[in-house]
Chain A
Amino acid sequence: MKDVISNSEYMIEIEDMYKIYKMGENEVRALNGVNLKIKPHEFVAIIGPSGSGKSTLMNMIGCLDTPTSGKYYIDGNEASQLKDDEQAAIRNKKIGFIFQQYNLLPKLNVEENVELPLIYAGVPLAKRREMTKTALERVGLYDRRFHRPTELSGGQQQRASIARALAARPPMILADEPTGALDSKTGSEVLNMLKELHQEGKTVILITHDNKIAHEADRIVRIMDGEIVFDSSVDGDKSQVNV
């Protein structure tokens, strides 16, 4: 994929997005007219209880799904009705995913896992090794690069998955409950790492159900029943989110 030149002041622009599932007679509106704009270098937390539609929203932001209607621009490029492979290319270049369950491939060692997005991006071997090394050093796992994920602690696995998210140097990190499976100490380590990434200039989007974790972000967006009910950038101080 050619590098698309950013021609918008927003990293992410969602306009009037609907995602409707038909369950027999019933209609489930997972997203019910969502409008959301995120600028580059923002640190945004999207919160909401389970079933609120935050996972659906994450899938849309992550180019993992296509909306029923509405527009989605990523870096100024329309991305709402792309084909499978075009979505794959955007995921590969623009987005680094961090999942709650780490989602490392168990049969590959840490280095091979981190290398994977670079392989799919078609980066040549020497360059790939170098970028992998940088990413692994960044999370402090370079000396464990030959270990299998199962030989690592939860925190280390999540760091490996952060390294994988960073490897291809995407402008945006999309973290889905990244601390959900970790104890509070390692959880806060991971959170600190996300903060650092934000300070280094990455756009960080954090999806969580935990208000305390959400408060680490600069901006909080609360979603309920498929609609955004609170956005600290519009509705004032993020401390009011609990209200």
Chain B
Amino acid sequence: MNLTQSFKMAIKSISASKMRTFLTMLGIIIGVCAVIVLVSVVQGSTGSITESIESLGANSINVIFTGRNSTKSVSYEEMVEFLDENREYISYVVPNMTGNGRVKYQSSNLNSSVVGTTPDYLTVKNRDIQSGRFINDMDVQKRRKVAVIGSYNARELFGFEDPIDKQIKINNELYTVVGVLDAISNSEGGSDDDTVIIPYSAGRLIFRTSKIRSYVVWASTAENVEEAVDRVERFLYSKFGDEDEYSVISVASMMDTLDEITGMMTILTAGIAGISLVVGGIGIMNIMLVSVTERTREIGIRKAIGAKRSSIMSQFLIEAALVSCLGGVIGILLSCFGTVILGNVMGIDAFPSIFVMLGAFLFSAVIGIFFGWAPASKASKLNPIDALHAD
């Protein structure tokens, strides 16, 4: 007997009891659907996190002095010296002092984050100026109290007024606004548009220290990031002699960490959802065992008229696999809707990947065969006389 016949027989007995077939499939449908939806949503949310990390710039390396012994630091001049020795690998070094300031203009005021830095900040953060100018080297050298404000600050403090050359107070120190940054996010409070940038040398009072606690180092190319990180680490080790005093984090290494985490998340969610697939498989085995008992007489008749063990075996095995695969297909279709709906609800771009779908389908087929094996084997070994005399 060939496979085509086994398929026909299996399809016949599946379609003969549609309700039961559907209920048997339900476990697989839910399992497949859960695997695909969960994995897609995890991957989708990973995508949006990745995007925001990538916006930091692939060449950027963050250096933070973390030591509890806060008296130690590396001055900007030392960093520039280091930069000059490593021009091949490093293009910019930018101080990144941060603090909070109460920003006032006439009667309006708001709390903003204040960044103390140098002119290259504009390049490494990939920002632009909307009006006026950015801080320049002279501002830094002369410790001029000038400020470049974000679009949010400009709108909130000045309204329709032109902010350029106006005097604002940051923590009661007078600063002159020289420029406005272009808007890059939604121009809301707390966003990248809510920021005030001043020369790092001018902000001693705001940052309550003259020591720079953080730099952004910009590798010359994305390929050189690794080497640049190495060199920065070696340089800092020669300064501090203790790895715990600083941390050097590249966007690339953050991405690696993120990939690792999301990889684990994917495996975890797929594993949990996979358990429901296995449970679905046990459901199939259960129903198939019942079905073999119910169809003892049918099996007896088939054997009496010449069905071999392999014929009976393949008929029941294909039946189980078919139920499982059909459940897999329905689960895949449902998961497409489920992923899009859930993605919309969560506000992320989630699409079921073809590999996950393929994997889930293959897994459901394997489960059908695996859990169909025992019932099929039981059916094939029935004694035809006993089977014939069954009610």
Contact = CB atoms under 8 A, between A and B. Distances in A.
Nearest to A103: B301
Given A59-B385, A64-B385, A122 B306 contact: no
Interface residues of A, number: 26
B361 to A, nearest CB: 29
Contacts of B306: 88-89, 91-93, 117, 120-121, 168
A107 B305 CA distance: 17
Contacts of B145: none
A91 B304 contact: yes
A107 B12 contact: yes
A49 to B, nearest CB: 18
A85 interface: yes
A210 interface: no
A88 B309 CA distance: 9
Contacts of B388: 64, 99, 103
Q: By DSSP majority rule, is chain B's interface helix, strand, loop, or mixed?
A: helix
A64 B304 contact: yes
B4 to A, nearest CB: 9
B2 interface: yes
B305 A89 contact: no
A73 B384 CA distance: 20
A229 interface: no
Interface in A100-122: 103-105, 107-108, 116-117, 119-122
Given A59-B385, A122-B1, A108 B12 contact: yes
Interface in B298-320: 298, 301-311
Given A108-B12, A119-B5, A122-B2, A97 B309 contact: no
Contacts of B311: 120
B138 interface: no
B16 interface: yes
Interface in A51-68: 59, 62, 64-65
A164 B306 CA distance: 12
A84 interface: yes
B174 to A, nearest CB: 93
B13 interface: yes
A50 to B, nearest CB: 13
B328 to A, nearest CB: 25
B305 A91 contact: yes
B16 A107 contact: yes
A21 to B, nearest CB: 12
Contact of A117 (B13, B305, B385): B305
A84 B304 contact: no
A182 to B, nearest CB: 19
A97 B305 contact: yes
Given A108-B12, A122-B2, A85 B301 contact: no
B307 A64 contact: no
Contacts of B305: 91-92, 97, 116-117, 120, 164
B311 to A, nearest CB: 6
Nearest to A168: B306
Most buried by A among B16, B301, B385: B301
Contacts of A59: 385
Nearest to A86: B308
Contact of B301 (A62, A89, A105): A105
Interface string A136-153: 000000000000000000
Contacts of A65: 385
B18 to A, nearest CB: 13
A119 B1 CA distance: 6
A89 B304 CA distance: 10
Contacts of B16: 107
A99 B389 CA distance: 11
A57 B306 CA distance: 19
Given A92-B305, A117-B305, A64 B384 contact: yes
Contacts of B13: 107
Contacts of A92: 305-306
B246 to A, nearest CB: 76
A90 to B, nearest CB: 8
Given A103-B388, A107-B13, A119-B5, A97 B304 contact: yes
Given A108-B12, A120-B1, A103 B307 contact: no
A91 B302 CA distance: 11
A85 B303 CA distance: 9
Nearest to A123: B1
Nearest to B381: A84
Most buried by A among B16, B309, B384: B384
Interface of B: 1-2, 5, 12-13, 16, 297-298, 301-311, 384-385, 388
Given A103-B388, A119-B1, A122-B2, 18 more contacts: A64-B304, A84-B308, A84-B309, A85-B310, A88-B309, A91-B303, A91-B306, A92-B306, A99-B388, A103-B304, A107-B12, A117-B305, A120-B305, A120-B306, A120-B307, A120-B308, A122-B1, A168-B306
- 4 closest A-B pairs by beta carbon, nearest first, are A92-B306, A120-B306, A117-B305, A85-B308
20 contacts: A59-B385, A62-B304, A64-B385, A84-B309, A85-B309, A85-B310, A88-B306, A88-B307, A89-B306, A89-B308, A91-B306, A103-B304, A103-B388, A105-B301, A107-B12, A116-B305, A117-B306, A120-B302, A120-B305, A120-B308
